[in-house]
Structure 1
Amino acid sequence: MDQHCSTTNLQAIVYKDQKKYRILVIEDNPGDFALIQDYLQEYIATPDILQAKSFKEAETCLCATVECPYDVVLLDLSLPDVSGERLINDLVALDPGCPVIILSGYSDFEFSVRSLSMGIADYLIKDELSPSILYKSLVYNIERKRIRQDLEESKRRYSNLFHLSPQPMWVFDLETFQFLDVNEAALNHYGYSKEEFISMSIKEIRPADEVAKLENHIQSSILTQKPFYGMAKHRKKNGEIINVEVKTNLIQFKDRKAVLVLCSDITERLKYIKTIEKQNQQIKEIAWIQSHVVRAPIARLMGLVNLIDLEKATDTDHKNLLSHIMDSANELDQIVRDINTRTKEV
């Protein structure tokens, strides 16, 4: 029998939670506090437990550092200085992010539900309490706090990426096409105020002949569940039409199906490309002139020089040849001038 008990105790030790939990127990009853300690130590290897016997002591503990130093707070609702709803409100206000589990001696279902809406993480009845119930509530609520913090951090990162982006971005409702949110870069680039944006649909920043194209792109994204990437034309508040590169993604925004849009104004880039294309065409024309047009008078000059060397050529022949040479030279000079002019234009 003793050997069996030893084995059971050994297993209990082996399977105890090895994490470091810092727990504030706000309880003025020594017997209840001792029982809570025993319950916690049954499932947690080395819990760091601190007792506060009044709200004043709890306030001192929770305000000892800038950040709450406790993973969870276990709260008795009947303290010598404060109790009931006022105790809940005052305690939650000290650190809204710290899970608070009520350990009450009173089974009041209506009040327990109301306390959850006041920021309490869980409501446990002392007479129904057991080590496993207390441990599960503690672990679940600490994990819930971690998940909530991760979600808040994710929202904060999204907000920073969205609002601090140097590129215009907005979110619009997938069903109504209404703007739901817009960043500062979009306000500056398009000229609308945020209130004006929110009162508009995305169709209103598109030229009339682009609306059907917009609707087709959105329907395609809905059917394929894939982001859209492509070119579009937008209209600024001053009426200027700009060319933009658009990237979209389907998201959930405040429980609504929405589309996140990132826009890059490529109007100047397209103008630059057209300028380069025009220059390239001019360069091709210059190259063609050099390889075809310039060679014609040069070939004639070479032929005329050969004729001058003929011994039987008369003075009249020489004069005619010199005249042709001059004509070819003038033609070549004009071609060179044309090439220089075209080169300057490029």
Structure 2
Amino acid sequence: MSSIELDHVSKLYANGAYGVRDVDLRIEEGEFVIFLGPSGCGKSTTLRMIAGLESISSGDLRIGGRSVNNVAPRDRNIAVVFQSYALYPHMNVRENMGFGLKMRGVARPVIDEKIREAAALLGLTPYLDRRPAALSGGQRQRVALGRAIVRDPVAFLLDEPLSNLDAQLRAEMRLELVKLHRRLGRTIVHVTHDQVEAMTMGDRICIMRDGRMIQVGKPLEVYADPVDTFVARFLATPTMNLIPARLEGRGDGLAVVGPGFELAVPERHREAYGPHAGREVIFGLRPEDLHETQQPGTQRLDVDVVAMEALGVENILVGQTGTGTPVEISARLSRHFTAPVGARVPLHLDLTPMHLFDPQTTRALPRPRLAVAA
């Protein structure tokens, strides 16, 4: 068993500040879990506590059902891969991968066999006699992974392992890590601040802020139903549109009234949102739910174009709505859509996946959940 359980785990520093506070999480055997959050949110500290590199102030940490609060890192059978590859420059790839096993007194034939297997798995066989200086960034990262694999750990802890790579290599290594997880079937905990890594790699993502876990769930579920405005903003680029507004009753229905617009709340949300009529709210809608052409059930909103970002596969429109104190709104549109800055253009909004948040607590007001792909 290689499940990892954090039972109300906290890290309190000598100055009275919490690095991690009351984290309660179970990571199943063979699961790929992402710790996601901004710098300083506690994700790396949580990873280091799992590894035994950081002491636990309170709570209980269990690996495979066994409490390991006072177990030394070397006795937890967990491998850690850091942001810096930490390869020995005077050793070749073969020596770097086998060094840990050599220090543990493992027999040379066993070491050689494990290195051969890991090198074949990672495509490193042609580079075993090269030193790190003769390798690309992606190859060095593979060596760091290989050094972890030969240990045959129950779990891998990856602390922002792709952040030193360029965009193309990051994309390639994301795919390689997913493939590696499928082949090995081992538990992986991956720390990152990159939303793309979180959405594309993990079975679940754990979003952290100020030392706390704010939301845990499958990537698409968290994306579709963020618990607060922080998660709504953090999980995508461009972020969810969040606009101060007011929820008003309109006959048998409801409307979101904001700067320069009034939008009817879909019938499926009226029962949930009805008790909040007459309140100030934050209206949330993701940029992909704004379209350049009218579609069944959409509602029109005219905006003044502030900027257009051409990304090749799509164009991002940033527009303003309202007068006096206008607000900006972003839309993900097709690559064929263009409009000059200053032009007024119609957008067509699908409010089915809309959100309303409490301006005081920033928490999402409950509403029916939408079905998402598995």
TM-score range, shorter-chain basis? under 0.3
Q: TM-score, normalised by structure 2?
A: 0.22
Q: TM-score, normalised by structure 1?
A: 0.23
Q: Which has the higher contact order (CA 8 A, sep 6+)?
A: 2
User: Greater helix percent: which structure?
Assistant: 1
Looking at CA atoms only, which structure, 1 or 2, has the larger radius of gyration? 1
